[in-house]
Amino acid sequence: MAVGKGWEGVVLKLLRGKDFTFTVTGAQDVTEHYRRVHFTDGGLLAAAGDSLHPTMWVRVWFQGAGKPHQRAYTLVDPDPEAGTFSFEFALHDGVASEWARTAAVGDTIDATVQGTGFTAPDPAPERLLVIGDPASLPAVNSLLDAHPATPATVWLETQHASDADLPLRADADRHDVRRVARAGTALVDRVRAELPALVADPESAYVWLACDTATTRTLTAYLRKELGLPKQRVNGLGYWRPGTGG
Ligand SMILES: Cc1cc2nc3c(=O)[nH]c(=O)nc-3n(C[C@H](O)[C@H](O)[C@H](O)COP(=O)(O)OP(=O)(O)OC[C@H]3O[C@@H](n4cnc5c(N)ncnc54)[C@H](O)[C@@H]3O)c2cc1C
């Protein structure tokens, strides 16, 4: 996917609220806590056309306790010509994870396109500053793919020993990856200690972050209020809520 402007164009507005049915064509356990599931797209990608963008996600409906639950998942390697894409599931408790663990060829799920959008940073940053975790890894990868020539520093929060084998699309020449084991405020502390040295000018720095909601909120406030980055140079979205039941 190339980076451009105007993702939230006419096509995406037309798509908003539209439903699609995805069919499983295969699945692999990437690690014991991370599973990739391949799909045919039910027409989604052709309908999305030019509005496909890095970090694009859809709301997927999973059945649990007799009712549907909406969960957000990121499109991995969408191929509009083939009409295929994958999801990568960070596995834990929950209806989406349960579905993913047993997903098999021929299974179907419904999804709605809603609320997704991405504005490419303009001017382009000299270095991407990215903070994520297993749930946002697909989005992080799409961001790195979309900026193939831009160096990046990535702080990746990990939860399991097997997270060392997560498929982060980092290139040792351009990407500086800093793994931080999840424990209390460890990620916030590391970012506060290390990120300022990488910000020569707050106006031109660019930070993309997606962790649990509390961590994302704390770091977004830090970047905006303490480091003085402008609103449009901090792209933060909480991806999951710690400790809430499904
Ligand atoms: C825009 C967007 C895109 C996203 N893309 C992806 C993606 O591509 N892949 C992906 O794996 N996730 C992604 N997420 C996160 C995913 O939607 C949430 O993790 C969701 O809560 C999972 O639903 P569930 O039914 O499995 O668990 P839930 O029923 O929501 O939660 C059950 C329990 O699991 C815990 N839990 C939920 N998520 C996590 C987690 N990530 N790590 C540890 N514990 C957790 C909860 O605190 C709760 O205790 C995305 C979120 C957003 C907002």
For 220-237, the pLDDT digits (tens) are 999 999 999 999 999 999
70-79 pLDDT, tens per residue? 999 999 999 9
Probe residue for ligand 1, chosen from 29, 61, 239, 241 as the CB with the greatest number of ligand atoms within 8 Å: 239
pTM equals 0.94
Asked if residue 94 has its Cβ within 6 Å of ligand 1, the reply is yes
Fold of 10-112: Elongation Factor Tu (Ef-tu); domain 3 (2.40.30)
**Ligand 1 geometric centre to CA of 135 (Å):** 6
Query: How confident is residue 8, by pLDDT bands cut at 50, 70 and 90?
Result: very low
Extract the runs of DSSP E, i.e. beta strands, from 135-232. Answer: 152-158, 175-181, 206-209
For residue 217, pLDDT over 50 is answered with yes
221-243 in b/e burial notation, b at 16+ Cβ within 10 A?
ebbbeebebeeebbbbbbbbeee
Q: Which of 1.10.760.10, 3.40.50.10320, 3.40.50.80, 3.50.50.60 would CATH assign to domain 128-236?
A: 3.40.50.80
Residue 27, ligand 1, Cβ within 6 A: no
Supply 187's token pair.
Answer: 């990620």
Q: Where are the domains of the chain?
A: 10-112, 128-236
pLDDT (tens digit per residue) in 162-212: 999 999 999 999 999 999 999 999 999 999 999 999 999 999 999 999 999
Q: Please provide the size of the chain in residues.
A: 246
10-112 and 128-236: identical CATH topology:
no
- pLDDT for 1 equals 41
Average pLDDT, the chain: 92
4 pLDDT above the threshold of 70 = no
Q: Is the CB of 99 under 6 A from ligand 1?
A: no
- What is the number of the ligand 1 atom nearest to the C-alpha of 98? 26
Q: Where does 87-240 have alpha helices with state H?
A: 95-102, 137-146, 186-194, 213-221
